[in-house]
A and B are shown apart, each in its own frame.
Chain A
Amino acid sequence: MEPTPLQRALAEAPEKTRAQAARPDEEFFVFKLGAVTLAVLSKHVREVSRLSPMTPLPRVPSFVLGVVGNRGQVMPVIDLLRFLQQGESKATRGGRLFVGESSGLLVAFLADQVIGLRRIFVADKLPPPAGGGAANEFLVGIVQHRELGSLSLLDLPRVLTAARGSVVRR
């Protein structure tokens, strides 16, 4: 006897609901600096701390604001806005420092406000906009985030390497 349409359909039906195809995502550390919202892969962020007294360094590029002592270690503080040639940060009372880490390099970065960790789908990343200037070199992409609006995703290891190179060359 020919199976009925229902029997045919049931013969191919799964026994349980299929899992949705996995959408790969990455965890980013999100912070505000001036008018921009930036994000870096959280694996490159070691810690966040209050803004501690900074000691200016002579003869360094203007994006190096100085050095701070952090857990017994001296580390330079970088203003990302100056580094990316997007203006300059103001060290405010509510400001924070986050410690970025890559290949053994530890550097503190100024942040006006720390937003926190967010998971971002890899497929949602868009290429940096054309004509973004020098900053584009250090962006891995941008994301239109439902909650936070436009996020610029920063390649922190590249920033660290370039900043170090720029300081050492002087």
Chain B
Amino acid sequence: MSDEVVATVEIVLFDIGGNRYGADMTQVRRIGRADEHDSVGTPLGAPTSGRRALIFSPSEGQEVCLPIDGVLGVQTVRLDDLRRLPPAAGRTPFIIGAWLDRDQTVLLVDLFSTNPFRTEAQHA
């Protein structure tokens, strides 16, 4: 038997407008309702149904949410399956890479970078 330890990371998978995205599980504080929090807007497009949201805390005492259609689950992903995006795919700051889930590419989102209320310190 191999003793090889495979490095993994946990990502929360969510759906917006029929597209699947992933975000680092450690950034998500909880899943709640979009209308109860300050929203970062719809940088990934508007949800088509439902009012759920990923709630995260980019700084002490601050809670904001990303409106989504629904949470699809938490997935343990091998680091081997993560990819950076090529330059020709653009430089959207909150899209930090992709997870190759067999023949489907899942875009990975840095939730904190979607936050328009970031302070200068957070930008740095």
A residues sitting closer than 8 Å to B (CB atoms) are: 52-60, 64, 66-69, 72-76, 105-107, 160, 163-164, 167-168, 170
Contact = CB atoms under 8 A, between A and B. Distances in A.
Contacts of B106: 55
A154 B121 CA distance: 48
A60 B19 contact: no
Given A58-B95, A105-B88, A163-B88, A53 B100 contact: no
9 contacts: A52-B103, A55-B105, A57-B90, A67-B105, A73-B83, A75-B86, A106-B88, A168-B90, A168-B91
A74 B98 contact: yes
A151 B110 CA distance: 45
Contacts of A74: 83-86, 89, 98, 100, 105
Contacts of B19: 55-56
Given A55-B20, A167-B90, 4 more contacts: A58-B95, A72-B100, A75-B86, A105-B88
B100 A76 contact: no
A163 B90 CA distance: 10
Given A52-B103, A74-B105, A168 B92 contact: no
Interface string B77-121: 000000111111111100100101001111100000000000000
Contact of B87 (A54, A69, A164): A164
A58 B19 CA distance: 11
A67 B103 contact: no
Nearest to B19: A56
Contacts of A57: 89-90, 92, 95, 107
Given A52-B103, A58-B44, A74-B83, A69 B98 contact: yes
B98 A167 contact: no
Contacts of A67: 85, 89, 98, 105, 107
B45 interface: yes
B43 interface: yes
B105 to A, nearest CB: 4
A56 to B, nearest CB: 6
Contacts of A105: 86-88
Nearest to B84: A74
Contact of B88 (A66, A72, A76): A76
Nearest to B82: A74
